[in-house]
Amino acid sequence: MFAYYIVMLAIAVLVGPFLLLKRRARYGMPQKLGIVPEAIKEKYKSPDGVKPIWFHAVSVGEFNAAWPLLKRLNDKHPQQTIVISSTTGAGHKLALERAASFADCIYFPYDLPWCTANWLDALRPKLVTIVETEIWPGFVNQCKERTIPITMINGRMSPRSFGSYYRFRTFFGPILRNFDAIGVQSTGESERYKKVAGDNLPLQVLGNIKFDGLKPISRSEQDELLNRLNLSPDDLVFIAGSTHEGEEAAVINAFKKLPEPKRKRLIIAPRHPERFDKVADIIRLAGFRPRRFSENEKFEQEGNVYLLDAIGHLAKFYSVATVAFVGGTLTPIGGHNIVEPLTYSVPVIAGPHLHKTKDVADALKAHNALIIVQDEKELAQQLELLFNDANLREQLGRHGNEWLKESQGAVERALTMIEKAAGLNSAVPETIQVETAQGERR
């Protein structure tokens, strides 16, 4: 571990000055450097006080994944204190908006001994739970030195990331073996974890807890959203969610090619808040007028494109969609939540870069519930096809929604795992038939 800390310190010295020039990197800097607010120290200083469960959700996607579990844990064990850490400013902001009423929301410290030690000594958590696969070796090691149990929920290891983990398995294997329980999304992930760290890992296939949080809004809420946007139920609405650099232009160009005279609308939701203004400029340069959520604007005429320039609203917006495109897939990011639109039986289009969500994508393709396009040209073709064929839209959306409902239930299994690790009760996981992302039943 000494060599690891030397490398991390060298990186901090070399890269630190450049990071300070970036606004995103400066979010929460004092806490990341191990400076614990006095209010937090005071709250948890009593040796006899209730020790928190510390959840780490690096950013917005991970927090959204953990949210249904956090709510369920708080509902069932309201006396249990909870700490939620994030790394990004957007993730921290979302945690504060949703969970501040029952959890302390902090920034995760840098993986240097004095940074992590300060927080572990101040919080003295009864359990640390990592959301998905945010493995920091020094932090994990310090938890074990303090005999703090550490678990993982919604664990994932894509085929692409598996290559790196496997190549350095002599380093990552012992770190993974320090976990007291690892809950993974699918049997595919389970096998990849075993290949990195051995067959004796404490693995459980829980399913994807993010799916449990995908519940449709009410009809009245949907009507309210339609009214806010000045949409009618007959409008054909194309939503491009979680888009990255280059994808907005492709989406707009595909949208332009749709034939008239059908009333069609385009909504774009960029993945990162710092790109909101830039995307507004992209919309203008394409000959459209941006209408912004942050300015409480709405569709007024055919030349409008709606910019969802806020975090945490995309899932609700899918309720008014006719067709959805999920970003991070035309560019080599690896994909985002391709299941979210299926909450409303909305057919989903994605690009070819799905390595971060491969198991889910494979399952949806096997269920005839996902359209994969290779480029902007194919996106335009498939978008026109779906806009013109209501039966095809219904079929794709229905297949996807059925698969989603069959795949839900992971929250209760994850809760049982956490209760056992934290000593909240002596619950034993019950045998539940769940379809994994590869279609197997367990």
Residues labelled as active-site residues? 62
Burial of 70 (0-12, 13-18, 19+ CB in 10 A): buried
Burial of 47 (0-12, 13-18, 19+ CB in 10 A): exposed
Mapped onto helix, strand or coil, the DSSP state of residue 223 is helix
The sheet carrying 348-350 orders its strands as 289-292, 304-307, 264-270, 236-243, 323-326, 348-350, 371-372
Angstrom distance (rounded) from CA 250 to CA 177: 44
Report which DSSP code applies to 310.
S
CA dihedral of 52, 420, 72, 327, whole degrees rounded to 10: 90
Rg (CA), the chain: 22
Enumerate the β-bridge partners of residue 155.
Answer: 184
CA dihedral of 242, 342, 161, 196, whole degrees rounded to 10: 150
In 111-165 the beta strands, taken as DSSP E runs, fall at 127-131, 150-155
**In contact, 135 and 111? CB cutoff 8 Å:** no
